[in-house]
């Protein structure tokens, strides 16, 4: 429900997993198969010779240093920038504003209700329930519009459809207080997913 790039994350995790798996398989083969070890020594020696020759042919005039080091540093800076940008995209979408409208009484200015108001009200209403082990409420901006995500973790034996209906009633009461219908996602926790499944409500 936030702007986290989930597809990109899964692709990157898949690539990293494949690379690590390939490295692990290669290491096992190097240890257990002599023919693979012999091939590796020959191949690695050829690669090392290629790079040593390349660095020798790309030296600055009159110096022993290669300008390829500058290229490598530039590539590393670009990779570092991409990693920082990727990390910055994780979990984006949180908002501190639930409602912002002009004063209906004609007084200049806006009336604003913070997302923390809804978060605290719903958490307080659900915190003392003995049938729940955890409650998380967060406000997000979805396509420029505020929305709420409610995540609860029920105890064993709690009917998820009954719990979802009761939470929906609390949300409708909140809508009546705020004076605006807010999109809401209700998720019944991952810890109980194998037993109860997951119930979601968006309105």
- State the Cα–Cα distance between residues 139 and 117, nearest whole angstrom: 10
Task: List the pLDDT tens digit at each of the 203 positions of the chain.
Answer: 555 667 778 888 899 999 999 999 999 999 999 999 899 988 988 899 998 898 888 888 878 888 998 999 999 999 999 888 887 776 666 667 777 666 555 556 666 777 777 788 888 888 778 888 888 888 887 776 788 888 888 888 788 888 888 888 888 888 888 777 888 888 887 554 434 444 444 44
- State the Cα–Cα distance between residues 198 and 5, nearest whole angstrom: 22
- pLDDT of the residue at 28: 94
Query: What is the H or E stretch that residue 152 is in?
Result: strand 145-154
Q: Would you give the end-to-end CA distance of the chain in angstroms?
A: 14
3-state SS, residue 132: strand
Domain 97-196 = CATH 3.20.20.30: no
Are residues 157 and 119 in contact, defined by beta-carbon separation less than 8 angstroms? no
CA-wise closest residue to 137 among 195, 198, 186, 84: 186
- State the Cα–Cα distance between residues 176 and 81, nearest whole angstrom: 46
3-state SS, residue 173: helix
- State the Cα–Cα distance between residues 191 and 133, nearest whole angstrom: 10
Are residues 103 and 179 in contact, defined by beta-carbon separation less than 8 angstroms? no
- State the Cα–Cα distance between residues 183 and 154, nearest whole angstrom: 22
Q: Domain boundaries in the chain?
A: 6-89, 97-196
Q: Note the pTM of the prediction, 2 decimals.
A: 0.49
């Amino acid at each position: 429900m936030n702007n986290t790039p989930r597809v990109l994350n899964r692709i990157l995790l898949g690539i990293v997993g494949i690379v690590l798996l390939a490295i692990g398989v290669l290491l096992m083969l190097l240890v257990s198969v002599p023919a693979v070890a012999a091939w590796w020594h020959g191949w690695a020696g050829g690669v090392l010779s290629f790079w040593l020759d390349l660095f020798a042919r790309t030296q600055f005039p009159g110096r022993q240093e290669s300008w390829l080091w500058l290229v490598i540093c530039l590539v590393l800076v670009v990779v570092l920038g991409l990693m920082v940008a990727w990390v910055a995209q994780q979990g984006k979408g949180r908002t501190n504003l639930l409602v912002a409208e002009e004063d209906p009484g004609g007084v200049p200015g806006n009336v604003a209700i913070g997302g923390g108001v809804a978060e605290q009200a719903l958490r307080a209403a659900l915190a003392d329930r003995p049938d729940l082990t955890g409650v998380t409420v967060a406000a997000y901006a979805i396509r420029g519009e505020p929305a709420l995500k409610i995540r609860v973790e029920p105890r064993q034996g709690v009917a998820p459809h009954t719990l979802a209906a009761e939470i929906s009633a609390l949300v409708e009461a909140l809508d009546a207080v705020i004076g605006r219908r807010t999109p809401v996602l209700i998720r019944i926790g991952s810890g109980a997913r194998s037993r109860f499944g997951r119930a979601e409500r968006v309105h």
